[in-house]
Amino acid sequence: MTRQATQGVAGHDGPGLAVAEARRRILDEVAPLIGQERVALAAALGRVLAENVHAPLDVPGADNAAMDGYAVRSVDLPENGPGTLRVVDRVLAGAARRDPLAAGECVRIMTGAPIPPGADAVVMQERVEDGDDGQVRIPGPVAAGENIRRAGEDLAAGSVALAAGRRLRPQEVGVLGSLGRPEVTVHRRPVVAFLSTGDELCSPGQTPGPGQIYDSNRHLIGAALRRLGVDAVDGGVIGDDLGALKAAISEAGSYADAVITTGGVSVGEADTVKEALACAGDIAFWRVAMRPGRPLAFGRVGPALFFGLPGNPVSAAATFYQLVQPALRRLMGEAGTLQPAQLPVIAAERLRKRPGRMEFQRGILEPGADGTVQVRSTGAQGSGMLTSLVHADCLIVLDAERGDVAPGETVQVQPLEGLQR
Ligand SMILES: Nc1nc2c(c(=O)[nH]1)N[C@H]1C(S)=C(S)[C@@H](COP(=O)(O)OP(=O)(O)OC[C@H]3O[C@@H](n4cnc5c(N)ncnc54)[C@H](O)[C@@H]3O)O[C@H]1N2
Ligand code: MOO
């Protein structure tokens, strides 16, 4: 990255870089962290795999019953009408029968128990009538393979069960358990320092003076970082003082893999973040054509990535999810598409939109007509109104150049929870 002064930085004069271009330029700068560790399965949730995990055995390990009932030879049961078979054994999950079934025989079997040799189907017990002398009446026909789960149908021995670069959710941890793995190799967690800037900010326990407010961004960004699974280091509040900000950014860059500030990145007289970054590190670009969230600065302090997010709380959150989180996920070693997932839904009402910047409006998903999903606005969209995000369950993504959305039009939404992670 070349060192650039604030003036002349890409996006300085116009509306800023397109969101996709900004994301691409950021991701181009990010490589997965070097460094791995072994963790026990109980500590693996949310970590990113640094090894290809091969299945050392078939899962399931043997053909087994999918239902409680009777293991039969399908040839013994007539095409139409019931047949009568003699029950010669009983197999529970955890046991196995070695002797093959002979003609006219069946075995009482429970879900998960291995299929006895010779049997090729399981009839569920609800379809079976008890007869005399240990015999059962079973309605035909029964198809070969019915209610049998095949060895290796979930995972074949030797196959890649989980590929490196995968973030471990509960289901991946369960698969590791099913392979008998006590521990797994994951990428080291990035250290991410975050701090708020602004003379107006108070912390809990302090009494706001005239014109002061409590800091929300540090708590929001800290929580988002912890949920993402990074090692989040709270750098506190730094006042609007260039020297103090330069020192704080330099110090954070000396130990962190990424540094995030909020506030002081616009064009006001106390907006010192860009100047501090230009002194302490390098600015790659400033300003993204998104709303909320235009005045974002991206660069480096030493080897650390630097994100100067805007001060308005919704702008800080929006830029975090669109641009910071994908970068941190790549830093964490995650492979694949790192941008937030998007789905088309129907606009339930008119949405106001001025051409110019891509907008991330706060929306509420709800059932529409005929089983469709529709979205409506949370209402006022001011970037200082953090409760607009509290009421939202999605972001409505509106392309930069478009205008108002008419009711019934299809729009893209990013669910805030559920589909990601
Ligand atoms: N003349 C212009 N003014 C502004 C522009 C512009 O292009 N020209 N852009 C506006 C946009 S868009 C945004 S977003 C803000 C971003 O400004 P800064 O990043 O410099 O942020 P501040 O000025 O420091 O603060 C903005 C706003 O947010 C409040 N804030 C800041 N930090 C926190 C925090 N940690 N917790 C809660 N609230 C916070 C701050 O008090 C301000 O009200 O600039 C516009 N202005
Ligand atoms: O981009 Mo500002 O974030 O519109 O409020």
The answer to the question of residue 156 being in a domain is no
Q: How many other CB atoms are there within 10 angstroms of residue 201's CB atom?
A: 24
pLDDT score at 13: 56
pLDDT at 9: 47
In which domain, by residue range, is 233 found?
19-35+190-331
Q: What is the pLDDT of residue 356?
A: 95
Distance 267 CA to ligand 1 centre (A): 9
Q: Measured in Å, how far apart are the chain's first and last C-alpha atoms?
A: 31
Binned at pLDDT 50, 70 and 90, residue 15 comes out as: confident
Using most ligand atoms within 8 A of CB, pick from 266, 271, 290 the residue to mutate for ligand 1. Answer: 266
Give the H/E segment covering residue 328.
Answer: helix 325-331
Q: Which residues line ligand 1 (CB under 6 A)?
A: 196, 198, 200-201, 213, 215-218, 262-268, 271, 292, 294-295, 310-313, 315, 383-384
Please name the residue that has the structure tokens 């003082």. 241
Range name among 231-240, 262-271, 358-367, 397-406 with the lowest pLDDT average: 262-271
User: Measured from the CB, is residue 281 less than 6 Å from ligand 2?
Assistant: no
Say what the ipTM of the complex is. 0.98
Domain total for the chain? 4
The minimum-distance atom of ligand 2 relative to the CA of 314 is: 3
Best residue among 312, 315, 319 to mutate for probing ligand 1, ranked by most atoms within 8 Å of CB = 312
Q: What is the mean pLDDT of residues 97-105?
A: 96
For residue 420, tell me if it sits in a domain. no
Asked whether residue 41 falls in the same domain as residue 183, the answer is yes
- For the whole model, what pTM was predicted? 0.91
> In whole angstroms, what is the distance from residue 413 CA to residue 201 CA?
33
**Which ligand is in closest contact with the Cα of 318?**
2
Instruction: Give the model's confidence band at 412: pLDDT under 50 very low, under 70 low, under 90 confident, else very high.
Output: very high
CATH number, domain containing residue 406: 2.40.340.10
Q: Among candidates 191, 358, 220, 201, which has minimal Cα distance to 264?
A: 201
H/E stretch holding 244: helix 242-255
Centre of ligand 1 to C-alpha 215, Å, is: 13
19 vs 296: CA distance, rounded Å = 11
Query: Can you tell me the mean pLDDT for 1-20?
Result: 60
How much distance in Å is there from the Cα of 291 to the middle of ligand 2? 5
For residue 294, the ligand closest to its alpha carbon is 2
Confidence bin at 198 (pLDDT 50/70/90): very high
- Cβ of 312 closer than 6 Å to ligand 2, yes or no, is yes
pLDDT tens-digit map of 42-96: 999 999 999 999 999 999 999 999 999 999 999 999 988 899 999 999 999 999 9
Please write the tens of the pLDDT for every residue from 321-378: 999 999 999 999 999 989 999 999 999 999 999 999 999 999 999 999 999 999 999 9
Residue given tokens 């006219």 in the structure block: 104
**Whole-angstrom distance, CA of residue 274 vs CA of residue 271:** 8
145 and 167 assigned to the same domain: no
Listed residues 306, 331, 356: the one ending a domain = 331
User: Which atom of ligand 1 is closest in space to residue 196's alpha carbon?
Assistant: 35
- 219 is a domain residue: yes
Kindly indicate the confidence band of residue 2, based on its pLDDT and cuts at 50, 70 and 90.
very low
Testing ligand 2's pocket by substitution, the residue of 265, 271, 291, 322 carrying the most ligand atoms inside 8 A of its CB is 291
Distance 388 CA to ligand 2 centre (A): 14
| Residue 131: predicted pLDDT | 86
Rounded to the nearest whole angstrom, what is the distance from the C-alpha of residue 167 to the centroid of ligand 1?
34
Confidence of residue 1 (pLDDT cuts 50, 70, 90): very low
Q: What is the 3-state secondary structure (H, E, C) of the chain?
A: CCCCCCCCCCCCCCCCECHHHHHHHHHHCCCCCCCEEEEEHHHCCCCEECCCEECCCCECCCCEECCCEEEECHHHCCCCEEEEEEEEEEECCCCCCCCCCCCCEEEEECCCCECCCCCCEEEEHHHCEECCCCEEEEEECCCCCCCEECCCCCECCCCEEECCCCECCHHHHHHHHHCCCCEEEEECCCEEEEEEECCCEECCCCCCCCCCEECCHHHHHHHHHHHHCCEEEEEEEECCCHHHHHHHHHHHHHHCCEEEEECCCCCCCCCCHHHHHHHHCEEEEECECEECCCCCEEEEECCEEEEEECCCHHHHHHHHHHHHHHHHHHHCCCCCCCCCCCEEEEECCCECCCCCCEEEEEEEEEECHHHCEEEEECCCCCCCCCHHHHHCCEEEEECCCCCCECCCCEEEEEECCCCCC
Q: Is 294 in the pocket of ligand 2 (CB under 6 A)?
A: yes
Query: From the alpha carbon of 215, which atom of ligand 1 is closest?
Result: 36
Give, in order, the Cα–Cα distances in Å from 378 to each of 22, 61, 193, 362: 27, 51, 32, 6
| Ligand minimally distant from the alpha carbon of residue 313 | 1
Check if the beta carbon of residue 284 is closer than 8 Å to that of residue 300: yes
46 in the same domain as 93: no
Q: How many angstroms does the Cα of residue 373 sit away from the middle of ligand 2?
A: 28
Burial profile 12-26: b = 16 or more Cβ within 10 angstroms, e = fewer: beebbbbbeebbebb
Place 7 in a pLDDT band, splitting at 50, 70 and 90: very low
SS3 assignment, position 27: helix
CATH of residue 198's domain is 3.40.980.10
Q: Is the CB of 310 under 6 A from ligand 2?
A: yes
Indicate whether 226 and 132 sit together in one domain: no
Looking from the CA of residue 319, the nearest atom of ligand 2 is: 3
Query: Do residues 323 and 234 both lie within one domain?
Result: yes
CA of 97 relative to ligand 1 center, distance in Å:
73
Name residue 360's amino acid.
Answer: F
Say if residue 393 is in the same domain as residue 411. yes
pLDDT at residue 157 is higher than 60 = yes
Q: What DSSP element (H or E) covers 223?
A: helix 217-228
Ligand 1 atom nearest the C-alpha of 291 is: 12
Average pLDDT, the chain: 94
Give me ligand 2 centre to Cα 276, in Å: 21
Residues 227 and 315 in one domain: yes
Same domain, 182 and 198: no
Domain containing residue 175: CATH number: 3.90.105.10
Q: Which ligand 2 atom is nearest residue 310's CA?
A: 3
Give the torsion through C-alpha atoms of 212, 213, 219, 221, to 10 deg. Answer: -80
Burial category of 204 from C-beta neighbours within 10 Å (exposed 0-12, middle 13-18, buried 19 and up) = exposed
226 & 367 share domain: no
Mean pLDDT in residue range 304-329: 98
Is 60 exceeded by the pLDDT of residue 295? yes
- Residue 135's H or E segment, with its range, is strand 135-140
Any atom of ligand 2 within 6 Å of the Cβ of 262: no
Identify the DSSP state of 6. Answer: S
CA–CA gap between residue 71 and residue 281 (Å, rounded): 71
Say yes or no: 405 and 381 in one domain.
Answer: yes
